[in-house]
Chains A and B, each alone.
Chain A
Amino acid sequence: MAAYNGSQIVICGNTYLEVENCKRIMEYNDIYLKVRTTDGIIAEIWGSGLRLSDYNTNGIAVRGNISSIELHGKGEE
């Protein structure tokens, strides 16, 4: 099976979120997280008590109360 190099976002309820192939964390605090994925998508995650874990290479896991997620394509930023 060929490896998927694009971004992959998994949301489990409103308390857990995984972003695969996350290239860069652009902004982070306990209510807001903004990340850029390897294929250029920017994900903005809003919530409270956001905690970040580096669970594998190029992947991040976010825990906390997630209230909204916004995705922006290339060039929309």
Chain B
Amino acid sequence: MYFNSLRSRTGFCIYSESSADLGKFINSLRNSPIQFYGLTFRRDKLYGYVRSGNYERLERLASEHSLICERTEERGIYFVTKGYHLRFGIIAGFLLSLIMLWVMSDRVTRIDIGGNERVTEEELLSLLRDTGIYVGSRISDIDLRAAERQIVGMDKDIAWVGIRHTGSRVVVEIDEINPIPEMERSNTPCNIVAARDCQIKQVRVYSGMLIPMVGDSVRKGDVIISGVVDTKFGRSFYVHAMGEITGVYREKMTFSQPLHDTERIHTGNAVKKAVSIFGKRIVYHREGKVTGEYEYYEEEAPLRIGKITFPISLVTMHYSLTEEVTVTRTAEEAFRLCENRIKNYEENFLSGDVTVTDREIVRKDSENAVTVTVVFTVEGEVGTDHSIFAKYEGREQPEAPKKEAD
């Protein structure tokens, strides 16, 4: 470009009222240090541009030749900004953006985590925070290699950590320790024994020798498929007994619901809204008062422009206020609650590979509570491996509380 649009220049118009010679003036102008551009004649007037700093010299030169010099226009960054020099908002905004640029260029604005499966992002973020890496921390203060060593030392599930930063984004790559898989040794001699007292309903033997018949009753610990197999020649050898044993057994559960009970009830809601800047929260709106105990959850909406996420977000904090009250119920209400609990128990503990074929419900009302005893008739797998040569010490498995085999 012939003209640098940023440089300031002033347009001029030179003419004569007394028929002075413009030709002489042009040659004087050429011989002077004043640079001019776009000199043109229009209606006996000479138009052109000079640098703004040369305009006064041009005026002097024109007056020496008895010519009139007029300023026609002013262009360039100086004249554009001159009109805004009293707009303090623009100046403040410009300075603020410069400060923000300076601050943001040395702050962590985003942490990306990759390679984790078992270790959650929250755990990793907490570990990173302990090493001084969090959204808002100064990048120049972070010792990435030391942080890597610290994190590997702090979590036994992490085998390797690689931390790097690209601009204000910190990328954390981890490699988890793979647990040694539990080896199922299929060649160890073992029996299949009854895991509980039951009646055998169906048997599939893949390996070993079946001891009781279908329809027989067995007690917990009785051998159902033996790993000691006798041959017709009077010899015995050991095998890894395999098979599927389906048995029918009964399971007794007792559910009790007091008629007078203390419960936590919902009393109201409260909401707080805050602006989070580098993790620091500034609350700007409150709705309701947060007192006593409450359940809490929050929603965070980070500021995003395109694919860039800024460390500024709007946080809405929801408080569900609760209060402990004494509730009095009728026997029928208490019984319905017990029924719900029975239903939940069945869904959670007696579903999947077992089937409830029957249930006997016995209700007992007392002065303070309703007690419901349920006897479930359950059909399911009852066999469990029991190694022949292993040493069993105090091997009775602890029973679940309130759970009784009938």
Contacts and interface: CB of A to CB of B under 8 A. Distances in A.
Interface of A: 22, 24-30, 49-55, 60, 63
Interface string B18-60: 0000110011011000111111111000001000000000000
A27 B23 CA distance: 6
B237 interface: no
A53 B26 CA distance: 11
A71 B240 CA distance: 116
15 contacts: A22-B30, A25-B26, A25-B27, A25-B30, A27-B23, A28-B22, A28-B23, A28-B39, A50-B40, A51-B39, A52-B36, A52-B38, A52-B39, A53-B2, A55-B35
Given A51-B40, A54-B35, A63-B38, 10 more contacts: A25-B26, A25-B30, A29-B41, A30-B41, A50-B40, A52-B38, A52-B39, A53-B37, A54-B34, A54-B37
Nearest to B44: A29
Contacts of B35: 54-55
B30 A54 contact: yes
A53 B27 contact: no
Contacts of A27: 23
Contact of B23 (A25, A30, A54, A55): A25
A71 B166 CA distance: 65
Nearest to A29: B41
Interface residues of B, number: 17
A28 B40 CA distance: 9
Contacts of B42: 30
A28 B41 contact: yes
A49 B39 CA distance: 10
Contacts of B22: 28
A54 B41 contact: no
Specify which of B22, B23, B29, B30 lies most central, judged by the most chain A CB atoms within 10 Å of its CB: B30
Contacts of A30: 40-42
A27 B48 CA distance: 17
Contacts of A52: 26, 36, 38-40, 48
A28 B2 contact: no
A2 B35 CA distance: 26
A28 B26 contact: yes
Contacts of A63: 38
Nearest to B34: A54
Given A26-B23, A60-B30, A54 B40 contact: no
A48 B23 CA distance: 18
B7 to A, nearest CB: 15
Q: Name, among A22, A24, A27, A54, the residue most crowded by chain B CB atoms within 10 Å (CB to CB).
A: A54
Nearest to A34: B23
A53 B23 contact: no
Contacts of B30: 22, 25, 54, 60
A24 B30 CA distance: 9
Closest 4 CB pairs between A and B? Answer: A52-B39, A30-B41, A51-B40, A29-B41
Interface string B212-224: 0000000000000
B39 A53 contact: yes
A55 B264 CA distance: 89
Contacts of A25: 23, 26-27, 30
Q: Which of the listed residues A30, A52, A55, A63 has the most CB atoms from chain B within 10 Å of its own CB?
A: A52
A56 to B, nearest CB: 9
Contacts of B27: 24-25
B348 to A, nearest CB: 89
Nearest to A50: B40
B175 to A, nearest CB: 65
Nearest to A54: B36
B83 to A, nearest CB: 28
A53 B36 contact: yes
Contacts of B2: 53
Nearest to A60: B30
A16 B301 CA distance: 60
B290 to A, nearest CB: 74
Contacts of B40: 30, 49-52
